[in-house]
Amino acid sequence: MSNLLREHTLSGGQVIQMVQGDLTLEKVDAIVNAANSYLQHGGGVAWAILQRGGDVIQDESDAWIRTHGPVSHARPAWTSGGRLPARYVIHAVGPVWGEGEEEAKLTAAVSGCLQVADELHLQSIAFPAISTGIFGFPKERAARVILSAIQSYFARQTSQIRLVRLVLYDDETIATFCAVWAESY
């Protein structure tokens, strides 16, 4: 069960929440996977999603790559949720720290996930702290980029999304995101 840490309602009515919990247990329309461009789910959040959701997620990911090719930062892939409580997994390719233009790429990944959720007519989505694990993106910078990208997305267009959750797991990430949240809202 998730522990609600922070909540804010944007002017468009979207509720943004920050929770401590397990992304794979979120009962939302879609969860976001922090993926690589070839959707090989071998570690971190991706591995946890595959373990709980089942091999169907990897099978559908492989089919996506065969059909569409590698996934870009701006245009995430999506699969079913398999055995997850979420109906869909949106596979976002976050930037690897040090590859250049990391903030723009992370913004594109977050905005792309929200766009896919709108295209799928979803009302709720849950994000991890994209790129802050094995991809090495500094947590404080990532928190600023992710929160800003969410606010910007809803400020510039109409959306049917009503709930966006940031699902964080470890104490360091939670403390960092809470500090940035306090500056943002």
Q: Please give the Cα distance from 167 to 178 (Å, whole number).
A: 12
Q: Name the DSSP class of 38.
A: T
Q: Please give the Cα distance from 144 to 183 (Å, whole number).
A: 9
Residue 151 is part of a domain; what is its CATH number? 3.40.220.10
Domain with 167 in it: 3-184
Per-residue CA distances from 10 to 40, 171, 181 (Å): 35, 26, 13
**How does pLDDT run across 111-129, given as a tens digit for each residue?**
999 999 999 999 999 999 9
- Secondary-structure breakdown of the chain: helix, strand, coil percentages, each rounded to the nearest 5: 40, 20, 35
pLDDT at 49: 96
The two beta strands, 3-9 and 163-168, are unpaired
**Is the pLDDT assigned to residue 157 strictly greater than 90?**
no
How many domains are there within the chain? 1
**Is the pLDDT assigned to residue 170 strictly greater than 70?**
yes
pLDDT at 134: 87
Supply 35's token pair: 């993926």
